Structure 1
């Protein structure tokens, strides 16, 4: 039995939308994640994306993800200030050092936002390096090329 033009158009429309969804589903841009492990010497973290797949499976962890300076610089500054504030406290009888956050802002267990770079960043030096580089592969929008750009939640008292 022949299909009407409207039914045929509807089938093409649905097929095209399904095809487009398949393409877009494979492109990684940004995602919320939980920090599983953080190395404050190398400023790299192992993270677990929070969104499950559509069938409920949890995502695999991403390892050695570079962390943007804005996520940890406050922790390093406060760590350097703590001994000096303790000296002031001892000298004038204040409790400034006690007012500092109890925990670091960037640490295991916190939620973060990770963005995925457009190209393979294996040959990029990272950090503050502004070197031009040739990508190591043709990888595009792959979570292996993620960086952490922000820590979510927290406050000045608890970190």
Structure 2
């Protein structure tokens, strides 16, 4: 008679569930810039890390962070806006919640319940190898 160990079965079930959960849980990853819209300061990017059998889907309209830097000795602050070239390797961070309503600078509720979704990605920088 073959007995099934309930603890082993539960462990295997939980391992499969957690593996799927972690695969779908986006935090940050390197991407290749496919195109850049200079007017909107957004890029279409392709994730460079495969987490499943298929290549990852392209992510469109990903905003890049700008910077306002003030010289250490005082003086006028200078604003820097993002600019990306096709082929640049960038680092993308995914927000905990939908970010669209918060981009206007006011506290706002998200329109959806999505969490750690690649649609809420932001480019935070370019890897040094992309600089010529």
TM-score norm. by structure 1 comes to: 0.65
Does residue 1:111 correspond to 2:89, yes or no?
yes
**Structure of higher CA gyration radius:** 1
Structure 1: 4+ residue segments shifted above 6 A: none
- SS of equivalent to 1:24: helix
Matches within 5 A, 1:84-123: 106-123=84-101
Query: Going by fraction, where is helix more abundant, 1 or 2?
Result: 1
How far residue 2 of structure 1 moved from its aligned partner, in angstroms, is 4.4
How far residue 33 of structure 1 moved from its aligned partner, in angstroms, is 0.5
Q: Distance in 1 between the 2:48 and 2:123 partners? A: 14
RMSD: 2.3
Does residue 1:66 correspond to 2:44, yes or no?
no
Query: Going by fraction, where is strand more abundant, 1 or 2?
Result: 2
Matches within 5 A, 1:1-159: 1-3=1-3, 7-55=5-53, 57-70=54-67, 106-125=84-103, 129-154=104-129, 158=132
Q: Distance in 1 between the 2:91 and 2:127 partners? A: 7
Equivalent in the alignment of 2:72 = none
Equivalent in the alignment of 2:74 = none
How far residue 110 of structure 1 moved from its aligned partner, in angstroms, is 0.6
How far residue 22 of structure 1 moved from its aligned partner, in angstroms, is 1.6
For structure 1, the 5+ residue unaligned runs are 71-76, 78-103
Q: Which moved more, 1:34-43 or 1:139-148?
A: 34-43
TM-score norm. by structure 2 comes to: 0.77
